[in-house]
Amino acid sequence: MSRIGKLPIAIPSGVNVSVDNNNVVTVKGPKGELKQAVNADIKVSIEDGHVHVTRPTDDKEHRALHGLYRALINNMVVGVSQGFKVQLELVGVGYRATSNGQLLDLALGYSHAICMQLPSEIKVEAVTDRKSNPIITLETADKQLLGQVCAKIRSLRMPEPYKGKGIKFVGEVIRRKAGKSAKV
């Protein structure tokens, strides 16, 4: 039995979970509403304030899907009740970030500024203080969407190992390399 898949998901107060006939799980809460289609082989049931995910057989595919859908539904429940928040830090001379509504404007050392239109589900805030690196804060209820947007922003200027410049997560440690050594 899957260690992750067999764990029940507790439904906090203020969150409503429902499963329709097409095996689509809908989770509603104070932070929003999320939907996830579940494979027809995997059974999702709601009993006494907990969501249970079960599989029909011990086939390799069913074992993989069992833990996957349990984790996705758990992320949905946590997202609509508490939400997810990620902070990105811009490390480099002249790197700037400004936000105007859903538009994120980045200056990352290229010859041009980069403007990104973010999805309406994501709340963005860019803070620039003197003597510190600019910080971009992203908040949403959808963990998958948040990870995808963070990966897209980070791919614009990946952190490099020699000087440590680039876009990194707050608290992330970049493994540094030594530069060229002079001839002896």
pTM: 0.89
Fold classification of 84-169 is: Outer Surface Protein A; domain 3 (3.90.930)
**H helix runs in the chain, sequence order:** 60-81, 143-155
pLDDT, tens digit, 9 for 90 and up, residues 84-143: 999 999 999 999 999 999 999 999 999 999 999 999 999 999 999 988 999 999 999 999
Tokens representing residue 174 in the block: 């970049």
Amino acid of residue 62: H
Comma-separated ranges of CATH 3.90.930.12 domains in the chain: 9-81, 84-169
E strand or H helix at 77: helix 60-81
pLDDT, tens digit, 9 for 90 and up, residues 24-72: 999 999 999 999 999 999 999 999 999 999 999 999 999 999 999 999 9
> Using an 8 Å Cβ cutoff, are 24 and 66 in contact?
no
Q: Is 26 exposed, middle or buried (0-12, 13-18, 19+ CB in 10 A)?
A: middle
Fold classification of 9-81 is: Outer Surface Protein A; domain 3 (3.90.930)
